[in-house]
Amino acid sequence: MPTQTLTARAKVINLSDQDALLLGLLGFSATKLWNVANHHRRTVWNHRSRRIKRYSCGQGLGRRGQPETPRLAVQ
C-alpha cells in the first residue's frame, strides 16, 4: 500500500513563550489525533480483511449474523 507523507516547515521569529507553548500543544494534539485515526483505520481494515477471507473460503453469515456451519452434500 503506498503511503504519502506531507510535511510543512516554517520559521517563526519573535515568538513569545506563551505562543511557543500553544504551538507545541497544537502539534502534540495533532499527533495524537493522527495516531488515533491511524489506529482506527488499521482496526477497520483488519476486520474487513478477515470478513473477506471468511467469505472467500465459502463461509458466509447465516441468519442473525452468525457464521454458517458447513453443510455436507447429500446425494
What's the pLDDT at 70?
A: 57
**Total number of domains constituting the chain:** 1
The Cα 63–Cα 59 span in angstroms is 13
The answer as to whether 65 is a domain residue is no
What are the CA-CA distances from residue 70 to residues 60, 62, 65 (Å)? 9, 11, 15
In a domain, 46, yes or no: yes
pLDDT tens digits along 2-44: 677 777 788 888 889 999 899 999 999 999 999 999 999 888 8
Pick the closest to residue 27 from 8, 49, 43 (CA basis).
8
List the grid coordinates of 65. 449474523
Of 60 and 38, more confident: 38
User: Higher model confidence: residue 24 or residue 63?
Assistant: 24
List the domain range (segments joined by +) for residue 30. 17-57
The pTM assigned to this predicted structure is: 0.50
Are the CB atoms for 28 and 41 separated by under 8 Å?
no
Q: How many CA atoms lie within 13 A of 11 on its CB side?
A: 1
